[in-house]
Chain A
Amino acid sequence: MREDASAPAIQLLGVSQRFGDYVAIQGVNLEARAGEFVAIVGPTGCGKSTLLNIVAGLRPPAEGEVRIFGEALTGLNRQAGYLFQADSLFPWKTALENVMLGLLLRRVHEREARERARIWLAKVGLAGFEDHYPHQLSGGMKKRVALAQVLILRPKILLMDEPFGALDVQTRQLMENELLALWQEDRKTVLFVTHDLEEAIALADRVVVFSAGPASRIVGDFQVELPRPRDVAEVRLTEDFLKIHREIWSLLREEVMRAHAR
């Protein structure tokens, strides 16, 4: 594969998406450097999941181009791991089997896949739950299994769609810190969708704000210059955090209000 090391990991050029007559997003230009952690915020229904699906190659855009490491994306994005907004585990596979699957599909030997999956389950704090089926796990545990399922394949790009949305605050902060620690290890390019602005700022290098739909587009792009490594709970209390939060919130609030008014 022809890969340009200096090219941005993700590049969207004039990307639009339609569902029938409904224009979900329009003329989106977005770039993410290799190793960059980009958070995407925006009012509900503005097209954040739609955008991730485009980058994943699950649904090609109606218009515009997607480039992955400089190369035009056709078909599925093989560089990307995708943590879906909805439950995506295989209900008929145990936690371990769920995590192993990607390796088996890459022709890794069963024994080795099993061992590596075990290690990853332990990494996300689920040692001892190998033989549990998804319906026997809590919501947060399922998200961890899904995270291990994706990360075990070491994707260069990680797409995450409100992965911690359904969790309580404590578990959420725990997982956010875990995510940061894992990300620190090999600095993947991350597109992280959330509607929680605090979460976005605490985690990301950059926060991108989408306008309310229809024909949603990017209305703001903010650098987050907070030092790393961060602790998501502590960083929220710093002056810099509050400053940038105020700045982005004034913009985001408008969009949320506009979405609500509809």
Chain B
Amino acid sequence: MLARRANPDSVQTKLSVGDLELDLLTRKVQRAGQDIDLQPREFRLLEYLMKHSGQVVTRTMLLENVWEYHFDPQTNVIDVHISRLRSKIDKNFEEPLLHTIRGAGYSLRAAD
């Protein structure tokens, strides 16, 4: 499910989920070979989701780790950030990678 094309004895610098790839060094994101342009925060959001791919990530986890906020804003700000990211990585592709888990949070994963 999670394919890591990294040299096993060097620090992992590339993450990938399905055909989505993220390079931590060049800070480039590609899906199916197509460049995807992300804002810095969107990059960090995607990086966190990819590092926890296959798991359910809650809004609180995202707030704490991506924004370093240890409180819940009253309005659901995370949802909107997620839908923005989703429109960049999923919109023009057949298979969705970023899933909403109702009542819990989100999960980034590729179909088996």
Q: Do A and B bind each other?
A: no
